Amino acid sequence: MPNQTANSTSPAENTANLLFSLFVFIADADEGLSAREVQRLNQMLDDTGWCTGNFMQGGLENLRERYADLWKDYQKKTILRDLPTLAEKLGTVLGQPTAPPAGEVVTALREFLDHLSRNTSPTLVRLGLVALSPAKQKARQDVDSLLAQPLADRLVQAATVMPSLVNEAGQILPSQAEACGADLSIWPAATLAYSPDLTWKRGRTAVRCVAVIPETHDVKTFVFQAIKPVLFAYKPGQFATLELPIEGKTIRRSYTISSSPSRPHTLSITVKRVPGGLVSNWLHDNMQAGFEFNLSGPNGDFTCFDAPAQKLLLIAAGSGITPVMSMLRWIVDTSSSANIVFLNNIRTPADVIFGREFEYLGMRMGANLKMGIIPGSVEPGQSWNGPVAHFSEHLVRLWAPDFIEREVFVCGPPGYMDCVRSTLERIGYPMHHYHQESFGAPPAQRAAHSASSAPAAVAAKPEVAPLAPPAAPVVSTLPAAPATTPEKVEIVFSRSSKTIYASTGDFILDLADEHDIKLESSCRAGNCGTCKIRKTEGDVEMDGQQALSETDILEGYVLACIGRACSKRVVLEA
């Protein structure tokens, strides 16, 4: 084979060969290698300050030394420019005894490619701000897929040696994803198993805030870690319910989870400050690293996990981005082959949440992610080069001409979701493929909106990884939840013929979940009324209920999600 570089043996030489081959594979994909691209490579070799790892430094140094020879090889066409050759060179680099772990190599190579294409990132290309030939776009996408492979292989290898995958007779157990019927051809990394002992159990969990990240002028992400360490397992798009000590009461409020179950050590919510909003303002003003409280979950049917499809259309506005972001992060982390169109309607350019991460997601997914971040207006003093529009039929047809073939997921303010829903209905979209975040909606509306019927208790399976050491104890300067010892109470579920002995602090809906008593629920925060049940004996207290009328209360109805028994015996018609 006339490829002179294939016989090299030094690690630095092998790395240099790979770097040069990556460069020509993309830049010369359409046989249109430009002077600007060569100049960019030269700049990166002249000033390697952009590169952080020793592994890459050695390769760049060698590339600089052999630069003229490599170009001669290129002109003589002795450097093969096809994907199998690239894969072979990548394998050679990864297989060197001195090579760093695969993840580090892949990160360094991505850093190289990102700097190389600094002015031609996939997102800029898709927004039409930079022209890049289809051949070069395809080549970059091929390289991204190639680089994803070593990581996937490594994770699968890790999973195969996990003891929790093998039963006592030495038989390999089916993964939980297989057990719950996930389509593994679309969610390949979902085959990874995890240890049940380390997994978040549905119900109440004490957590500690470990970070607060400002996202925009009025949006923050709050990151939580379980105090007794667990891996958070949930389906991307589901929600958790926080119990917060506000104004002397325990207020429950549900927020969709913005993190991904593929990164299970922490769980995040992303909250927009709502003028006059009790909980959102409290979170923005009070929640800080070290604060401890209870949260429960996961709950919710709004998830792509139960509706695997090769093509998705994700539509979000405002803080409706949070479940969609969880899905996008999960899709990228699991190297899914799904093709996504994502429409994000925002108020103005100042309201882009996760803007820089979108760039990263675009780079990771290549042509499989088409992303439209579209403000409804641009205010004086703001700069914006992209489209400006409100949600409309035109927008759907422009960004997703094949929308009919796509599974649709929508989240945003109620008026926005109504508009999206009626628009899609009007233009003939098959609504049985339509999913809309529904917590907070009245029960009748919720039933009509939710196309997914899978039980929420079956969680997506995260990657197994060693637990991070628990954070050092942090002394909270904020008011802690009351430390009174709860009394024991008897709760009778008369229709289910079950009696439970619990504490006065336990929420009725959580108890019902734990004891397999089926109660309808949605927001789990006292807002929607779905969990309304009648009490025929005893007293139940509720903080912050907003769903019951005076007549309901007179007739003895309570909300199971925020209701707690406060007499020795309570009887419920459930």
* Interface positions with ligand FES (CB under 6 A): 521-524, 526-531, 547, 559, 561
CB atoms under 10 Å from CB of 224, counted, come to 26
Residue 300 or 529 with smaller CB distance to ligand FES? 529
Which residues on adjacent β-strands are paired with residue 205? Answer: 295
**Residue 291: CB partners within 8 Å, gap ≥ 6?**
208, 209, 476, 478
- What is the phi/psi pair of residue 344, to 5°? -120, 105
Q: Using the CB atoms, write b or e for 141-150: b if 16+ within 10 Å.
A: bbbbebbbeb
Torsion angle, CA of 89/95/100/102, rounded to 10 degrees?
Answer: 70
By beta-carbon proximity to ligand FES, the closer residue of 142 and 506 is: 506
**Nearest-approach distance from CB 515 to ligand FES, in angstroms:** 17
Place of tokens 């199998």: 84
**Count of CB atoms within 10 A of residue 1's CB?**
8
Minimum CB–partner distance for residue 480 and ligand FES (Å): 25
Which two structure tokens, joined as six digits, stand for 324? 């969609």
Place of tokens 């789990």: 524
Tally Cβ neighbours within 10 Å of residue 404: 14
Q: What's the closest the beta carbon of residue 448 comes to ligand FES, in angstroms?
A: 17
Select 66 or 253, whichever has its Cβ closest to ligand FES.
253
- Measured torsion, CA atoms of residues 534, 537, 539, 540, in degrees rounded to the nearest 10: -30
DSSP state for residue 299 in the 8-state scheme: E
CB of 97 to ligand FES, least distance (A): 58
Shorter beta-carbon distance to ligand FES: residue 283 or 542: 542
Instruction: Give least dist CB 560 to ligand FES, A.
Output: 6
Strand stretches in 413-572, DSSP E: 434-436, 488-493, 498-503, 532-537, 540-542, 557-559, 563-565, 569-572
DSSP string computed for 516-551:
T-----SSSSSSS-TTEEEEEES-EEESS--S--HH
Nearer to ligand FES (CB atom), residue 548 or residue 566: 548
| Comparison of 11 and 529: residue with beta carbon closer to ligand FES | 529
Q: The tokens 């709502």 sit on which residue?
A: 274
CB 311, min distance to ligand FES, A = 33
CB 14 within 8 A of CB 93: yes
- Residue indicated by tokens 């628990």: 470
Which residues are paired to 436 by β-bridges?
Answer: 410
Region of 192 please: left (phi>0), alpha (psi -120 to 50) or beta.
beta
Looking at the Cβ atoms of 65 and 573, the one nearer to ligand FES is 573
Cβ-Cβ contacts under 8 Å for 328 (sequence gap 6 or more): 314, 340, 342, 361, 369
The distance of closest approach from Cβ of residue 438 to ligand FES in the complex, given in angstroms and rounded to an integer, is 11
Q: Which CB, 117 or 527, lies closer to ligand FES?
A: 527
- Which residue lies nearer to ligand FES by CB, 320 or 529? 529
In the complex, least distance from residue 552 CB atom to ligand FES, rounded to whole angstroms: 11
Bond before 298 cis per omega within 30 degrees: yes
Q: How far is the CB of 503 from ligand FES (least distance, A)?
A: 20
Residue 156 CB, nearest approach to ligand FES (Å)? 39
In whole angstroms, the minimum distance from the beta carbon of 518 to ligand FES comes to 13
| 297 phi, psi to nearest 5 deg | 145, -170
Q: Which residue has the tokens 């805030």?
A: 209
DSSP3 helix / strand / coil % (the chain, rounded to 5): 40, 20, 40
Task: Record the tokens describing residue 480, joined without a space.
Answer: 């802690």
Q: Between 325 and 528, name the residue whose CB sits nearer to ligand FES.
A: 528
Spatial distance between the Cα atoms of 479 and 248, rounded to a whole number of angstroms? 10
Nearer to ligand FES, 295 or 547 (CB): 547
Distance between the two ends of the chain, CA-based, in angstroms?
Answer: 76
Contact between residue 287 and residue 485 where contact means Cβ atoms under 8 Å apart: no
Which residue's CB is nearer to ligand FES, number 452 or number 521? Answer: 521
| Nearest distance, CB of residue 520 and ligand FES, angstroms | 8
Specify the pairing of strand 239-246 against strand 292-299: antiparallel
- Least separation in angstroms between residue 541's CB and ligand FES is 15
Cβ distance to ligand FES smaller for residue 235 or 524:
524
